[in-house]
Structure formats: C-alpha cells, structure tokens
Structure 1
Amino acid sequence: MTPIRKLTLVSVFSLLAATAEAAPTLRGDITVLNSVVTVADMFDDAGALAETAIFSAPAPGTTGTVDLASIRAAASRVGIESFESNGLEAIKVTRGGTTVDEQLLEDLVLADLSGRGLLGPGVETNIQFSRFIDPVLVSTNGVPARLDSLRYTAGNRDFSARFILADNERIIDVSGTIDMTVEMPHLAANLPAGTILLPEHIVMRPVPVGQADAYGYMPMDQILGMSLNRQSREGMLLRASDISPPLAVAKNDLVTIIYRRGPMTLTVKGQAVTSASRGSSLQVLNLMSKRVINATAVAPGTVEVTGAPVSLAGL
C-alpha cells in the first residue's frame, strides 16, 4: 500500500472516530411546548437519544432554572456520560402558554351557533356567563380549548356548555344566557299617512331576534321610498304591513290616458276612479266618452290602457 493511500485511510478513520465521539452540546436557555423536556430540547447533536425525556417542563407560561449539576445527573440517567457545557452554569427552561379566558370561550360558543345556522346576517349576540371565569394558562401545543358540548335551544336564553382545555388536563362547565338581537327600523317622528319614507324618518334600534322574526325583518333598501299606510307615532317598529309603494295616482286625480296601437299613440284626459301605485291597475273615467276603463298607472298623473285591444271609439 502506497504512503498516500495509507494517509488517506488514516484521515478517513480519524474523521469517523471524531464524528462518533462528538459529545452533545448544551444549548442554553430554551423554550418548549410540551409537558416534558427532551434531550434534543437541551442539547445539540443529541443523536439517538433525541426524543428521550430528560426533565419535566414547568407549568405553561412559566420559566424554571436548572443548574449544571442537575443537568449532568439527569443526562447520566438517560445514558449521556459527557457533554459540552459551553461554559454555562445553569439554563432557563420556559414553557410556552396560551391564555384561555371568557372571550375565547365566548368565541367557541359563537362558532357553534354559527355552525347551527342560528346567527343570520346582522344578528348581534351577547353571551353572559353565570359566574366569572378566571383566565387559565394552557399549553400552546395544539388547540388551547375546545367546546365539548353546548345545550341551547333557539328562542331561549339559557345555555350550558362544557369546555375541555389543552391536553385534556382540565374541564370547565359553565352556564349563562345568550341574547340575540337584530337592528330593526323604527320611526324617528310622528308621521301622517302617505308620508314617503326618507333616511331621516328612520332610526335603527336593536330588537330580540324572536320579535324581529314575528314582525318580519326588512332591510333599509326595501323601506326607503315607500309610503306609510296610516298615521304613525314616533318610535313605532315598522312592519311590512305598515308600508306600501307610494301612489302614482290617487282617487279623483285628473290623469292623462295613453293608448298605443302600433305606431299610433292616442292620449285623452281622464279621472281616476280608484287609486294605484306605479305598475298597478286602476279604473279611470274617460272624460270624453264618459266610459270607465281599466288602465295601469305608469307615472304620477299618467295611466296606460291595458288588456285586450279596444277600438278607439271604445275609449
């Protein structure tokens, strides 16, 4: 064997020996998420012992200090006879933590109600627990808390719930009330019948969802421009039956009657026998022929003859 080949083999064997004999190195202050501290948490180059537990972790959200002597004793128990301390005399071990408080529990209840389809558009929900719930620090490893069960019936206020905290370490049973409201239109002033509703006539106020369902929820775009059917008082909750499209033609109004046939358009004067909103039918007296005909209100003061074609004389 040539000297160069011998030198190469010696170098390879030396490198392999150095790698095999490389001692773990203490990492210094660490943060863990689980309930135990592993060899890999404490040391670089942990090797086959990486997942082996070496210490119990402190409580979630807290920090503990471990001195070098305790580390050496614990390492020896799991089979690590020596390690590089990097000049450290002690290290701090912090366990990550997440706070479980009333807001988080409320959010879990709201998510469940939403999943049941009980929270429609515009619904505001107020949850009140029957007792104060002290904030709890739990592990950040996974979901901090989950809703195990919720007993609640739509239309009622009372509920009860069970929450299971992270790592199944603790159960919280609570009860309380759930109030659901939705904003509904109310009149801002006393208004006479026939008033065309404008934004300044309406004020939105919260109403229990059950009451809103009974009255019939109406969005603002379906209210503005409508006409009040009767004299109404300030603060009145508007229902669908309280409003209707404004009249284009009122009874006894003088109107223009339009009749179209092909390219020809005939107009005559008339008088409304009945009232109608735009697009609705009404009866009109032709002041020339003195005949009452059916027509459709197409604009204020204007109607158009509808139905089967009639002779001009029939108008």
Structure 2
Amino acid sequence: MIRKRTVFMALVAASLWGAAAVAAEKTIELPVLTSPKAINDVITADDLVMQEFPSHRVKGDMLRDSTQIIGQAAKRQLLAGKPIRLIDLRREQLVQRGENVALIYRNGTLEITATGKAMESGALDDIIRVTNNNSNRTVDATITGPKQVEIRE
C-alpha cells in the first residue's frame, strides 16, 4: 500500500507588516528495516516499518510495498531506516551448490526418492542440475523446498 501525504510546515515570522512564510512538502511512505540485515538474511514482516520520506528524495527503484520485500534475502548489508531497492534483494536460496539434496521423481502414484548433489544454487521453482549420488547421472530438477528438488516430465 502506497501512501502519499502532503505535509504543510508553516514558519511564521512576525514583523511590522504581518508577513508569514508557508512551505509545503509532499511525502511518501516507504517500508524500511527496523534493524540492519547482513548478506543472505531473509526479511520478514516483523523486520519492516513504514517511514515517511520527502517525495523529491524517493527514486523510482525504491520499493514502495512491503510485499515486494518480505521473503527476500539481502544481497548486501542493509541499513535500518533506509529505503530498500530491488537490486538490494534476491530470492532466498533454498539449495546451495555442492550440498546434498533430496531428489524426488513422481509419476502418478509412483514416487522414488534418492540423494543427489546440487551442481548449482537456486531458489524456489528454479531449475538446476543435480547429480544422482547412486548412478552419477546428472538431471535437471525443480527446487520445491529447502534441500529438496523434483524431477518433472
């Protein structure tokens, strides 16, 4: 949800002529972190609050909706209270290159599970190469969960 608000700030200078100066500043609410995040930390809803920024300081690549941020992982160190950009985030890596994964093959009611070695890292629904530890055959598999892949036909 994007909220825009115009804030009127008035500075009244009393003088002999009764002049007053009035300034208005438009603001936009953006989600920001409540505490710093390290590389690969996953951001949750509890990590975010909305904070107002002057609209002239809000750039087009700054994320305006917290749903775009929740569940993403930090690509770099992120600071609290600073706007978050899309390039600061990546999808959470559920499988890391070189780790053992559950390799699942399903065909109707038949399900075969083996152990494989991930040849690539990836996030949910990514297709990666996995080597079956028993046959040494390399297959393409879809990431379905943490350390879990499925062969789909």
User: Smaller-chain TM-score range?
Assistant: 0.7 to 0.9
- What TM-score, normalized by structure 1, do the two folds share? 0.41
8 Å contact kept, 1:256–1:269: yes
Aligned to 2:89: 243
Distance 1:234 1:284 in 2: 38
Tell me if 1:127 matches 2:13.
no
**Residues 1:270 and 2:116 aligned together:** yes
How far apart in 1 are the matches of 2:25 and 2:125? 42
Q: Which runs of 5+ in 1 are unaligned?
A: 1-119, 133-174, 310-315
Q: TM-score normalized by structure 2? A: 0.79
CA shift digits 1:109-149 (9 cap, x unpaired): xxxxxxxxxxx9410102357879xxxxxxxxxxxxxxxxx
2:65 to 219, 232, 239: 219
Give me the CA root mean square deviation.
Answer: 2.6
1:251-262 paired onto structure 2 within 5 Å: 251-262=97-108
Deviation at 1:295, TM superposition (A): 1.0
Shift of 1:176: 5.3
1:121, 1:188 → 2: CA distance? 19
> Match of 2:127?
281
Question: How much does 1:204 deviate?
Answer: 2.7
How big is the shift at 1:296? 0.8
Structure 1 pair 246/182, CA: closer, same or farther in 2 (3 Å)?
same
**How high is the sequence identity, in percent, across the aligned residues?**
24
Greater Rg by CA:
1
- Checking the alignment, whether the CA contact within 8 Å between 2:94 and 2:147 is kept in structure 1 is yes
CA gap 1:236/1:213 in 2 versus in 1, 3 angstroms: closer
* CA shift for structure 1 position 244: 2.4
Unmatched 5+ stretches in structure 2: 14-20
Cα distance 1:188–1:121, how it changes in 2: closer, same or farther (>3 A)? Answer: closer
After superposition, the C-alpha distances for 1:74-129 in whole angstroms (9 at most, x for unaligned) are: xxxxxxxxxxxxxxxxxxxxxxxxxxxxxxxxxxxxxxxxxxxxxx9410102357
Q: Distance in 1 between the 2:56 and 2:134 partners?
A: 56
Contact 2:8-2:24 at 8 Å conserved across structures: yes
Where relative contact order (Cα < 8 A, 6+ residues apart) is larger, the structure is 2
Q: Give the structure with the higher percent helix.
A: 1
Matched, 1:295 2:141: yes
Which structure carries more strand by proportion? Answer: 2
Match of 1:185 in 2: 31
Give how far 1:213 is off.
4.4
SS in 2 for 1:267: strand
1:1-315 residue pairs with structure 2 within 5 A?
121-128=2-9, 177-306=23-152, 309=153
Residues 259 and 305 of structure 1 are in contact (CA less than 8 Å); yes or no, is this contact kept in structure 2? yes
Do the aligned residues in 2 keep the contact of 1:218 with 1:240 (CA within 8 Å)? no
